[in-house]
């Protein structure tokens, strides 16, 4: 009587558990799907075998149909690799989980699920600031998920290393030692590395490559998915011809001369007056005109002009805001009209 049947992973070998003979027989499968070379794979004495399955590595898992009850594991040559005790009469088994790394056994009125190994994947690379400018110090955090069916081991740090372009393993996270349960994610801050956990942004397109558990500190069900890649584009710094720290395009909008560091629109001082007014002084350019605008809250969508056009007074211009003019608390200066 046949109680179990399964193929090898490549379907070139057929296994059959013969309950009457208390044995597992094996056949070669020919290209035309006929069977040949019948032989005994394993004999169980006393008792019999019931459900059988092969895993991705070609190992055969066979449950005992009579006591003592064990789940036996054999290599393709029939060598016993190990056995798992089960408290009830077994009838069948199968594999499940993200990578087929979990074993399910039906025994008596019960179903047993045996958790096996973790499986780490990187789901995203976060950076601060989110859009770094050229020359800006940038730090990284990496989101790691355990999509396996077992937790990561307690007391063993889950390390993640990040490469930026040709800078291999430039920063890393290596301080989280708590277990990561199955189907859970953690955010790991890369606070260590070649330059102390930071990278100075340089113009260009950079490949980011994060590898979870790069030192292979613990066993995973699948190590082929530990790497995550992304792209980061850093724009070149804006042109600043006069080296005054303000981009030429911004100076053109402000009405100042991008060729002269002395030509710069900047508020120099604010001074409270005795009647509650405010004197506002800024750098100015001869022959330019200016306007002062206000808003009562920073999150207001628009600025409101509070004064007529103000002619330049030379290298600096001062405007006085009287209490009756406006109740605003935020002011700015722009080139008129």
Per-residue pLDDT, averaged over 49-73, amounts to: 87
Domains of the chain (ranges, CATH numbers)? 2-114 (2.120.10.30), 120-234 (2.60.40.10), 248-335 (2.60.40)
Query: Residue 315: what pLDDT?
Result: 85
Q: What is the pTM of this model?
A: 0.55
CA-nearest of 296, 271, 301, 312 to 333 is: 312
Do 87 and 68 meet the contact criterion of CB atoms below 8 Å apart?
no
Q: Which of 30-34, 246-250, 299-303 has the highest mean pLDDT?
A: 30-34
Under a CB-based contact definition with an 8 Å cutoff, are residues 114 and 130 in contact? Answer: no
Binning pLDDT at 50, 70 and 90, where does residue 267 land? confident
* pLDDT surpasses 50 at 324: no
Q: What is the pLDDT of residues 210-221, one digit of tens each?
A: 999 999 999 888
Over the stretch 170-213, which tens digit does the pLDDT of each residue have? 999 999 999 999 899 999 999 999 988 999 999 999 999 999 99
Q: Looking at residue 329, what is its pLDDT?
A: 67
């Amino acid at each position: 009587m046949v109680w179990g049947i399964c193929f090898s992973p490549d379907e070139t070998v057929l296994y059959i558990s013969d309950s009457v003979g208390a044995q597992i027989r094996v056949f070669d499968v020919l290209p035309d799907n006929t069977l040949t070379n019948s032989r005994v794979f394993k004999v169980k004495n006393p008792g019999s075998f019931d459900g059988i399955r092969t895993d991705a590595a070609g190992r055969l898992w066979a449950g005992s149909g009579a006591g003592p009850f064990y789940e036996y594991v054999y290599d393709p040559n029939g060598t016993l690799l190990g056995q798992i005790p089960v408290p009830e009469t077994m009838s069948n088994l199968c594999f499940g989980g993200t990578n087929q790394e979990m074993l399910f056994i039906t025994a008596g009125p019960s179903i047993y699920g045996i958790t096996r190994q973790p499986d780490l994947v990187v789901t995203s690379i976060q950076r601060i600031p989110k859009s770094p400018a050229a020359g800006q110090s940038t730090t990284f955090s990496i989101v790691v998920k355990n999509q396996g069916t077992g937790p990561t081991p307690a007391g063993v740090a889950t390390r993640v290393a990040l490469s930026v372009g040709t800078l291999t393993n430039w920063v890393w996270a290596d301080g989280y030692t708590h277990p990561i349960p199955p189907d859970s994610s953690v955010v790991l801050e890369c606070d260590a590395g070649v330059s102390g956990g930071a990278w100075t942004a340089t113009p260009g397109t950079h490949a980011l490559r994060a590898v979870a558990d790069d030192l292979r500190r613990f066993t995973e069900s699948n190590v082929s998915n530990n790497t995550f890649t992304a792209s980061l584009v850093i724009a070149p710094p804006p042109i600043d011809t006069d080296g005054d720290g303000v981009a030429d395009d911004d100076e053109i909008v402000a009405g100042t001369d991008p060729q002269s560091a002395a030509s710069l629109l900047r508020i120099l001082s604010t001074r409270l007056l005795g009647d509650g007014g405010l004197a506002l002084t800024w750098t100015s350019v001869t022959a330019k005109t200016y306007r002062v605008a206000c808003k009562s809250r920073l999150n207001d969508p628009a600025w409101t002009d509070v004064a007529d056009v103000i002619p330049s007074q030379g290298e600096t211009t001062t405007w006085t805001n009287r209490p009756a003019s406006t109740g605003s608390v935020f002011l700015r200066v722009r080139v008129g009209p």
